C-alpha cells in the first residue's frame, strides 16, 4: 500500500496542492489515499487534490502523527512552532500506514505545500498488531 501525506499552510490555494501532488505522483506512482492531520481535513486544496486524483482522504490522529516523527527524514522548526510537529507530510504518510511504513524519499515542497510518499508491504492486520504492541494500546 502507498500513501501520500500532505502538509500545507492555511492560505495555500488548491492549484498549488494539486500541482505538487501530481509532481509527486509522476515521481513515485499513484497512491492509495491522501493522509492529512485533523486541522487540514477540510482544506480546499486537500479536497481538490483528492477529487482530481479520485483518492480518499485519511485523517491521521495526533498520537499517530507524534509517534511517526522520529522516522521522518526532514523537520521544519517553523512548522514545529506553528502546529507542534516538525514534519507534517512525512509524518502523515508514515502514520497512516503504521510502523512498518517507510518513506520513498524526503518530502517535496513548493508554494506552501509539502507532500511525501510512504509505502508498506505489511498487511493491515500486521500493521495494526505492530501499532498496538508499540503503543501498549488495546483493540
Mean per-residue pLDDT for 91-118?
Answer: 95
Burial class (CB in 10 A: 0-12, 13-18, 19+), 125: exposed
Q: Which of 78-82, 86-90, 132-136 has the highest mean pLDDT?
A: 86-90
pLDDT at residue 97, rounded to an integer: 95
Across the chain, mean pLDDT equals 90
Give the rounded percent of residues in the chain with a pLDDT score beyond 70: 88
Cell for 128? 495494526
Evaluate whether 66 touches 85 at the Cβ level (below 8 Å).
Answer: yes
pLDDT at residue 136, rounded to an integer: 73
Amino acid at each position: 500500500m502507498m500513501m501520500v501525506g500532505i502538509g500545507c499552510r492555511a492560505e495555500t490555494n488548491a492549484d498549488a496542492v494539486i500541482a505538487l501532488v501530481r509532481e509527486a505522483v509522476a515521481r513515485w506512482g499513484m497512491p492509495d489515499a491522501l493522509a492529512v492531520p485533523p486541522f487540514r481535513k477540510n482544506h480546499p486544496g486537500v479536497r481538490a487534490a483528492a477529487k482530481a486524483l479520485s483518492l480518499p482522504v485519511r485523517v491521521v490522529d495526533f498520537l499517530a502523527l507524534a509517534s511517526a516523527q522520529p522516522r521522518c527524514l526532514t523537520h521544519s522548526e517553523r512548522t514545529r512552532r506553528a502546529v507542534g510537529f516538525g514534519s507534517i507530510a512525512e509524518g502523515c504518510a508514515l502514520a497512516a500506514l503504521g510502523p512498518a511504513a517507510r518513506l520513498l524519499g524526503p518530502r517535496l515542497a513548493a508554494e506552501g505545500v509539502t507532500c511525501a510518499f510512504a509505502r508498506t508491504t505489511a498487511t493491515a492486520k500486521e500493521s495494526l498488531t505492530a501499532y498496538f504492541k508499540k503503543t501498549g494500546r488495546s483493540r
